[in-house]
């Protein structure tokens, strides 16, 4: 079926889609962690019966169980080698049901890769297209009536999927649908009318919205599409409201009658393909079919809709563009000194606040706060930052790890940090949970440090992940970590340059005990941003021995270990002496240092800087 044939079919009478395959699979007791697409091979009767129930309810379009059958998603389950088998079997199961009712269409379902597009993530447009191509080719070869791209959030990714369709299934009709938030935009900030135009321009025969929210919110989205981009063929597949977690299961609350009433409203609006997404079962489809079967979509005349018009393209407004004091000093060529602390493992931060005050009086410029290093459960870095700032007039360099927060959480945390006066951010990928207190915890890692830096650089420009203008912009001073001592220097240097290209404005090294790694780094990378060298004072011989033998990429020179051994009970004083010597040696090579006093021994940091910097 080509695009014109599919559009003509819709124009002759509303197409009724089926409901949520995933919800039915979940209700059958299959955990979300399982690859639902693989069930076409291991439990074909479950998939076949689900299709049969939707057809009996009145669905005129049966979607294949292939939503996640692309190369990237299947690789997460080590099933990429079965991609073609899964995709083809999904069509066989759907076709067997559809052919029992003449006129029923089979739509080849194609969902997103689940990876985040560059530059925030790592997935490049060509890589996304390459991931979709085998799936599209298999679905088309097995004989779907049209392809259905659904639940995409990034316009660049669905455009890659459309290119894959054009390359692997030329002439086959494609319906393309994106997900929108209750604010009427995609999570990446694309507006409904822009989405409709872009998808149509890329060759989609039907365009529209699905998933994420219920029918009320998608009504607003479709109204904007229909009014501002008239003349297209539209589709909608809302969720059955928002889910609630009850009795160990996710329950969607919208009744079949409620969904059916909105289905009728969608047809009144001119939408010609109406189905359901998450939470929508056969009972919903049956009620929808009873309400709209046989109706012909009649798009309203241009200008006849009365909807609220909002414009999100206003120039980004500034809440406060107060600059970072650390940045001002570095820009002026002044040497910067910071002291790193770890948040407490409990709820009492008194000792750390007093330590920050000691450092401030000694002339330290900033306190940099780690974000649960080594994946150990600690007070949040932002909470400690606010406790310190409430009592000590000192700047904070806040570490932000990608381990514990998805993209939504990272952006929300950064908005909150900026509103609370934090201006310096050190973006780090984060240690994996497997090495920490809770090894069975799940790391998020939507992005790494490079992607986080790019995200924050965009916020500084007043744009979101997709480059859409926001109503605010930030003024973060963006830092990144670099490890000159790693054995894989080529990778480290390449990633450092990627961080700079993403918007990094300063870098902090891992702890150094020798000049040679720093010299090699400077020679190789020729950094164009200020570098703060890390210095970790040794506490005693046991500490030095542990660091040298058990901590990756840390080498304590033999002479230092011997000095610590000879110092005996005077180890802290000797550790300070070594750190002071190294401070003076490395100072000409960098624009600042940051000290990492072990075990919250702030007095060691104070003793190191005594006489080397100006006290307050």
- Render pLDDT for 431-484 as a digit per residue (tens, 0 to 9): 888 767 777 787 888 889 999 999 999 999 998 766 678 888 999 999 999 999
Phi, psi of 229, deg, nearest 5: -130, 75
Angstrom CA distances, 390 to 89, 357, 418, 422, stand at 62, 11, 15, 12
Separation of alpha carbons 508 and 510, rounded Å: 7
Angstrom CA distances, 482 to 154, 550, 590, stand at 31, 20, 13
pLDDT at residue 599 in the model? 87
At residue 192, the 3 state secondary structure works out as helix
* Other beta carbons within 10 Å of 563: 18
Separation of alpha carbons 507 and 524, rounded Å: 15
pLDDT at residue 372 in the model? 87
Poorest-pLDDT segment among 205-214, 313-322, 367-376, 398-407:
313-322
pLDDT at residue 247 in the model? 58
Average pLDDT over residues 3-13: 96
Residues forming a β-bridge with 373: none
pLDDT confidence band for 181 (50 / 70 / 90) = confident
Separation of alpha carbons 238 and 259, rounded Å: 9
416 CA to centre of own chain: 18
Separation of alpha carbons 521 and 590, rounded Å: 11
Angstrom CA distances, 34 to 78, 89, 281, stand at 12, 18, 20
Separation of alpha carbons 534 and 512, rounded Å: 6
pLDDT at residue 318 in the model? 44
Residue 26: pLDDT above 50? yes
156 and 129 in contact (C-beta within 8 Å)? no
pLDDT confidence band for 49 (50 / 70 / 90) = very high
Paired tokens of 512: 């150094």
pLDDT at residue 306 in the model? 45
Poorest-pLDDT segment among 79-93, 503-517, 531-545, 546-560:
546-560
pLDDT at residue 522 in the model? 96
The residue assigned the tokens 């993530």 is: 121
Q: Do domains 3-292 and 317-609 have the same CATH topology?
A: yes
Question: Cα 493–497–500 angle (5° rounding)?
Answer: 140
**pLDDT > 70 fraction of the chain, expressed in percent and rounded:** 94
pLDDT at residue 148 in the model? 98
Residue 316: pLDDT above 60? no
Paired tokens of 50: 């689900």
Residue 317: pLDDT above 50? no
Q: Which sequence spans correspond to the domains of the chain? A: 3-292, 317-609
Q: How long a stretch of residues is the chain?
A: 616
Residue-wise pLDDT tens digits, 329-358? 999 999 999 999 999 999 999 999 999 999
Paired tokens of 276: 């359901």
How high is the mean pLDDT of the chain?
Answer: 91
Residue-wise pLDDT tens digits, 569-611? 999 999 999 999 999 999 999 999 999 999 889 999 999 999 9
- Element holding 105 (H helix, E strand): strand 105-110
Residue-wise pLDDT tens digits, 479-514? 999 999 998 899 999 999 999 999 999 999 999 999
pLDDT confidence band for 300 (50 / 70 / 90) = low
Task: Report domain 317-609's class.
Answer: alpha beta
pLDDT at residue 301 in the model? 62
* Other beta carbons within 10 Å of 251: 13
At residue 258, the 3 state secondary structure works out as helix
- Considering only residues 107 and 23, tell me which one the structure prediction assigns the higher pLDDT: 107
Assigned CATH for 3-292: 3.20.20.330
- Considering only residues 310 and 133, tell me which one the structure prediction assigns the higher pLDDT: 133
**pLDDT > 90 fraction of the chain, expressed in percent and rounded:** 79
């Amino acid at each position: 079926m080509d695009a014109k044939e599919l559009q003509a079919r819709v124009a002759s009478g509303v197409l009724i889609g089926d409901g949520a395959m995933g919800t039915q699979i979940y209700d059958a007791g299959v955990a979300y962690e399982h690859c639902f697409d693989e069930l076409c091979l291991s439990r074909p009767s479950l998939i076949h019966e689900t299709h049969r129930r939707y057809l009996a309810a009145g669905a005129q379009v049966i979607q294949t169980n292939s939503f996640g059958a692309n190369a990237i998603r299947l690789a997460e389950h080590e099933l990429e080698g079965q991609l073609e088998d899964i995709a083809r079997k999904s069509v066989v199961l759907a076709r067997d049901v559809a052919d029992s009712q003449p006129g029923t269409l089979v739509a080849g379902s194609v969902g997103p890769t689940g990876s985040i597009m560059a530059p925030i993530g790592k997935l490049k447009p060509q890589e996304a297209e390459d991931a979709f191509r085998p799936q599209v080719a298999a679905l088309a070869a097995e004989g779907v009536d049209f392809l259905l791209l659904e639940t995409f959030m990034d316009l660049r990714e669905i455009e890659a999927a459309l290119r894959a369709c054009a390359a692997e299934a030329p002439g086959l009709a494609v319906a393309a649908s994106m997900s929108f938030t209750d604010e009427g935009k995609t999570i990446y900030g694309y507006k409904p009318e822009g989405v409709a135009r872009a998808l149509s321009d890329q060759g989609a025969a039907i365009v529209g919205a699905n998933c994420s929210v219920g029918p009320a919110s998608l009504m607003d989205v479709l109204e904007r599409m229909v009014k501002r981009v008239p003349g297209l063929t539209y589709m909608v597949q809302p969720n059955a409201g928002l889910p609630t977690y009850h009795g160990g299961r996710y329950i969607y609350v919208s009744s079949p009658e409620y969904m059916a009433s909105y289905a009728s409203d969608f047809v009144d609006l001119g939408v010609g393909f109406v189905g359901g997404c998450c939470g929508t079962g056969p009972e919903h489809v049956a009620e929808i079919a009873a309400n709209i079967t046989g109706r012909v979509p009649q798009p309203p005349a241009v200008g006849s809709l009365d909807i609220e018009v909002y414009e999100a393209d206003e120039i980004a407004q500034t809440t406060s563009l107060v600059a970072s004091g650390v940045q001002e000093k570095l820009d002026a060529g002044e040497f910067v000194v910071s002291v790193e602390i770890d948040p407490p493992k409990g709820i009492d931060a008194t000792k750390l606040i007093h330590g920050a005050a000691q450092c401030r009086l000694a002339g330290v410029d900033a306190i940099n706060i780690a974000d649960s290093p080594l994946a150990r459960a600690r007070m949040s870095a932002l909470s400690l930052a606010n406790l310190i700032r409430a009592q000590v007039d000192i700047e904070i360099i806040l570490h932000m790890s990608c381990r514990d927060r998805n993209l939504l959480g990272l952006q929300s945390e950064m908005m909150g940090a900026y509103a609370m006066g934090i201006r310096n951010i050190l973006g780090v990928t984060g240690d994996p949970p497997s090495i920490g207190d809770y090894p069975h915890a799940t790391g998020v890692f939507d992005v790494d440090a490079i992607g986080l830096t790019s995200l924050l650089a965009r916020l500084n420009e007043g744009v979101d992940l997709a480059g859409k203008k926001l109503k605010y912009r930030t003024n973060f001073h963006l830092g990144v970590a670099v490890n000159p001592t790693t054995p894989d220097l080529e990778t480290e240097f390449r990633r450092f340059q990627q961080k700079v290209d993403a918007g990094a404005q300063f870098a902090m090294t891992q702890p150094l005990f020798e000049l040679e790694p720093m010299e090699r780094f400077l020679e190789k990378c020729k950094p164009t941003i200020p570098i703060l060298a890390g210095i970790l004072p040794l506490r005693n011989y046991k500490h030095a021995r542990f660091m040298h033998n058990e901590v990756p990429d840390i080498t304590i020179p033999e002479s230092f270990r011997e000095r610590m051994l000879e110092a005996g009970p005077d180890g802290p004083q000797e550790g300070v002496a070594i750190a002071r010597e190294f401070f003076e040696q490395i100072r000409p090579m960098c624009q600042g240092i940051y000290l990492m006093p072990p075990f919250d021994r702030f007095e060691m940091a104070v003793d190191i800087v005594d006489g080397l910097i100006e006290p307050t």
